[in-house]
Amino acid sequence: MNPLLQDFNTAPFSKITTKDYKPAIKKGIEIAKSEINEIVINTEKPTFENTTVALDFTGEKLNRITSIFFNLNSAETNEEIQKIAQEVSPWLSEFANDITLNEALFKKVKAVFDNRNNLKLTPEQETLLDKQYKSFARNGANLNEADKTTLREIDAKLSKLSLKFGENVLAETNAFELHLTDENDLAGLPESVKEAAKEVAKSKEKEGYVFTLDYPSYIPFLTYADNRELRKKMAIAAGKKAFQNNEFNNEQIVLDIVNLRQKRANLLGYKTHAHFVLEERMAETPENVINFSNNLLEKAKPAALREFKNLENYAKKLDGINKLQKWDGAYYSEKLKKELFDLDQEILKPYFKLENVIEGSFEIANRLFDLHFEEVFTIEKYHEDVKTYNVTDSNGNFIAVYYADFHPRKGKRNGAWMTSYKPQQIKNGINERPHVSIVCNFTKPTETKPSLLTFNEVTTLFHEFGHALHGMLANTTYNSLSGTSVSWDFVELPSQVMENWCFEKEALELFAKHYETGESLPMEYVEKIKESASFNEGMQTLRQLSFGLLDMQWHGQDPSEITSIKEFENNAFAETKLYPDVAENCMSTAFSHIFQGGYSSGYYSYKWAEVLDADAFDYFLEKGIFNKDVATKFKENVLSKGGTEKPMVLYKRFRGKEPKPDALLKRAGLI
């Protein structure tokens, strides 16, 4: 029997073989189709219960199967899984179209929607109905037959293209290595970085040291290696991922994706893909996003230019470098930061042993939200690196299953993300609790040292943990509104707000302890971490805004005339550019957030959410960072509510007022 088609609670990883996926997904689609058919053939008058709610509960089996499959395609993939993904993705987009383009079904949904004012619905029920109706209307339910066929073709192509895009980026990441055998080439690199590179070399049966484009290898190399030529080699290799004359080139794929998205938006009656996407976001229109971005740009740019000039002068004074290049930024920033704040990232690392940071995140969640985490060894995992936890509240009630996967490996894409294996919902009177997972790429333990995190990795862990809390504390009736199912420019609030605790003395005292001596992180370092938090923040802000504006350029206008991706990108970066251009590099061909993840027309949301998170954390600072009342308000109005009401309504209920950018600008040292 196919384990994916059995009833299971936690994912049965050990029983699943690769050949189970295709038949399970095929069967899952069949089951979901028959559930939908039940709604369509029901002869009773369409009601909220027999149509809206019934539809929300369809496809449960299919969703469980596909969440396992696609999560593994990101975290533990291989050629076979990638091949299956290419085959099943068009099936799934076809099935999604079968729902939204089903006239008889839409007729019923519309009948309930048109009668909504007579139904006495709760705010959550109203949101469900509104969202459901729009998911039909916004995805072609009102189109004629010929246009519906075109829409299906576009969606099938898009699903394959974004998968191919991601496969190419992963292949290019895995294809490059910098193999060094001369000790002199390692000058400047901390011992821990060299040790990790030695382990990589050993795993590849090579002498010496191997550096790769995986973040725990790449970032320290660019930050510390004295050899400028080698930094250049690494930076150029990273910057030309999928922009080389080989089988993994993504240039045509990018053009195909943006043109298909534009065509799809036009078909549905929208001016551009960005107009289509933003209609359902807090930002509402591309104009609002561009105004928001330009407003921040105006405040950040003078600071960024000042900081860049400083850095350039510093590099000149130190090493006679006249023109600062992209491969110099991290290196001289780290040196200057060390000089200004007497703060060395490497001195901090021994205080951030991975296990202690995990425990710290748990302790903070306990103090704020009364959560308890217990590592368990009875839950199946897809790789031995994964840790599994049962999460309960202070009364011992079961809250969630939590998976955490922390180290890079060949089958895992770069970066960090949160995902879920089972959503929360209330069905037949039972509150079904979620199974949530975070995936990161942190330095592995070595023979002599445990996994020691950079401060940046510490904030990354807290960021993903914030998303996880949003998933774990979900408490809504309908799974389509549960947890992180919120508008995209609100989803980063819980994650970004959690990062703030990493800068606070009271929080750091809980977990920043030296892995050998147990001594707490000295207070002078805590002060320096806080002081240095806004170091080069102008440049940082400019960088984030440049990505968001590039995304809006791709999706906020008709892309059909674009022929050169490189030229287009250079124009998009004109207002935010600091470093000289590198001819052989291109950002878009590896910009997975917008071409593979769900961030198209949404990259601005990181900055948007920063305004929310700085404003929200200001409230904690005012009342105390472990203040129970504020934490409870945040839990009850934001974390547990998912997408049951409009984000601004929920935010104002928590904060008592609309957010202002002042707290962010102050925190960033821009005012």
pLDDT digits (tens, 9 = 90+) for 185-209: 999 999 989 999 999 999 999 999 9
Q: Using CA of residue 9, residue 11, residue 17, residue 19, what is the dihedral sign? A: positive
Say what the pLDDT of residue 523 is: 86
* Local confidence band at 356 (pLDDT 50, 70, 90 cut-offs): very high
User: Tens of pLDDT along 607-640?
Assistant: 999 999 999 999 999 999 999 999 999 999 999 9
* Local confidence band at 337 (pLDDT 50, 70, 90 cut-offs): very high
384 is catalytic: no
User: Tens of pLDDT along 649-663?
Assistant: 999 999 999 998 899
Under DSSP, is residue 590 helix (H, G, I), strand (E, B) or coil? Answer: helix
Measured between alpha carbons, how far is residue 173 from residues 135, 176, 409 in Å? 36, 6, 11
Percent of the chain past pLDDT 90, that is, above it, reads 94
Would you say residue 531 has pLDDT above 90? no
- Delimit the CATH 1.20.1050.40 region(s) of the chain: 3-142
Distance CA 329, CA 311 (A): 8
Would you say residue 576 has pLDDT above 90? yes
Say what the pLDDT of residue 597 is: 84
The stretch 328-348 carries a mean pLDDT of 92
Say what the pLDDT of residue 326 is: 97
- Delimit the CATH 1.10.1370.40 region(s) of the chain: 350-533
Structure tokens at 66: 């596909």
Strand 398-405 relative to strand 435-439, pairing: parallel
Side chain identity at 390, as an amino acid letter?
N
Contact 592, 416 (CB under 8 A): no
* Count of C-beta atoms within a 10 Å radius of residue 125: 19
* Local confidence band at 670 (pLDDT 50, 70, 90 cut-offs): confident
- CA nearest neighbour of 108 among 82, 140, 132: 132
Say what the pLDDT of residue 644 is: 97
| Average pLDDT across the chain, whole number | 96
Would you say residue 171 has pLDDT above 90? yes
Would you say residue 516 has pLDDT above 90? yes
Would you say residue 564 has pLDDT above 90? yes
Contact 595, 253 (CB under 8 A): yes
Distance CA 568, CA 558 (A): 13
Classify each residue of 72-108 as buried b or exposed e, where b means 16 or more C-beta atoms within 10 Å of its C-beta.
bbbbbbeeebbebbeebbbbbbebbbebbbbeebbeb
Q: How much of the chain is in helix, strand and coil states, percent to nearest 5?
A: 60, 5, 30
Would you say residue 71 has pLDDT above 90? yes
Side chain identity at 301, as an amino acid letter?
K
Distance CA 336, CA 265 (A): 47
- Residue of 307, 464, 492, 499 with catalytic role: 464
Contact 219, 231 (CB under 8 A): no
Say what the pLDDT of residue 575 is: 96
Distance CA 599, CA 274 (A): 11
Q: Which CATH number fits domain 350-533: 1.10.3470.10, 1.10.1370.40, 2.130.10.10, 1.10.3720.10?
A: 1.10.1370.40
* Local confidence band at 322 (pLDDT 50, 70, 90 cut-offs): very high
Write down the H helix ranges in 268-285: 273-278
* Count of C-beta atoms within a 10 Å radius of residue 38: 12
Would you say residue 367 has pLDDT above 90? yes
**Crossing angle, helix 537-555 and helix 286-319, to 10 degrees?**
140
* Local confidence band at 527 (pLDDT 50, 70, 90 cut-offs): confident
User: Tens of pLDDT along 95-131?
Assistant: 999 999 999 999 999 999 999 999 999 999 999 999 9
Distance CA 619, CA 493 (A): 14
Please name the residues in contact with 240: beta carbons below 8 A apart, sequence gap of 6 or more.
Answer: 584, 585, 586
Superfamily for the 3-142 domain: Endopeptidase. Chain P; domain 1 (1.20.1050.40)
* Local confidence band at 494 (pLDDT 50, 70, 90 cut-offs): very high
